[in-house]
Chain A
Amino acid sequence: MDVKRNNKKESLLPISRIKIIMKSSPDTENIGQDTLFLVARTTEFFVKYLTHKAYETHKKDKQKVLDYASLADCVQTMKSMAFLKEIMPRKITVKEYKEILKRKEIEELDHFCTVDT
């Protein structure tokens, strides 16, 4: 399960890239080297965690493929993944989308009617 890690390299993800991403946030002012390492490691853990959880949730299907749908399911249902909700939405077909639109239109019409009366 554990990755073969070079003795010289403490984190797999490039620290420089992590720094660029962190600095792209406008509030960030100062980041220590320790913090950068910590964020890199945390992200590694997170990737493994997300993958593992997504695989577990769709394990019942007995498929040997991890696809986007199971990832989206996992993200939409877990509380800790709530920050990813908008980035990983469930995919819907055009037909479903049109149905949603229709429902919304009807709701709006109802709303107008109630306002008028």
Chain B
Amino acid sequence: MAECLDDLNLPNTIIARLIKDALPQGVSVTAEAKAAIARAASVFVLYLTNMSNTKAKQDNRKRIIPKDIFDTLCEADFAEFVVPLQESFTKYKQTQNNKKAQKKDSMNTSKDEKEIMEDGDDNEQNGLSEKSDSNDNNQ
């Protein structure tokens, strides 16, 4: 949860970078305008959350799903965001799936290694017991 008021603001450096990207070169932005845009961004997140929340509630869900966000954007006159967002979302999904696959692979390989190690341990133990057996025999 938000503990102090600062937690509800988005980092200024990143906002400044985004603003710089959206403007042609040589255009400067006043500090006041920057602060206003940062504030607007925070409010936008809340606005989006509220609208998607009502969408989820209408569907009798407690969880907000990506479809709610897309629907909200269409409804709130931000339909032009939808196509580029969907592109980056599919990309994100792909990377996420790849990560999962990699994790699984590494888990499997580490398991195999462990098994090999355990096998080795067993062999050693067997060897020891055999040795002790032979010692017993000698006595």
Contacts and interface: CB of A to CB of B under 8 A. Distances in A.
Contacts of B88: 10, 41
B60 to A, nearest CB: 12
Given A18-B45, A41-B89, A51-B19, A66 B27 contact: yes
A95 B17 CA distance: 37
Interface string B26-70: 111110110011011111111111101110010000111110110
A66 B33 contact: yes
Interface stretch (A32-40, A97-105, A107-115): A32-40
A34 B27 contact: no
B18 A48 contact: yes
Q: Please classify the interface of chain A as helix (H, G, I), strand (E, B), loop, or mixed, using the class held by over half of its residues.
A: helix
B69 A42 contact: yes
A30 B57 CA distance: 12
Contacts of B40: 46-47, 50, 75, 84, 87-88
Interface of B: 1-2, 7-8, 10-11, 14-15, 17-19, 21-23, 26-30, 32-33, 36-37, 39-50, 52-54, 57, 62-66, 68-69, 73, 76-78, 81, 84-85, 88-89, 91-93, 95
Given A31-B64, A34-B65, A47-B15, 10 more contacts: A24-B2, A27-B57, A39-B45, A43-B41, A49-B78, A51-B22, A55-B22, A70-B33, A80-B78, A83-B44
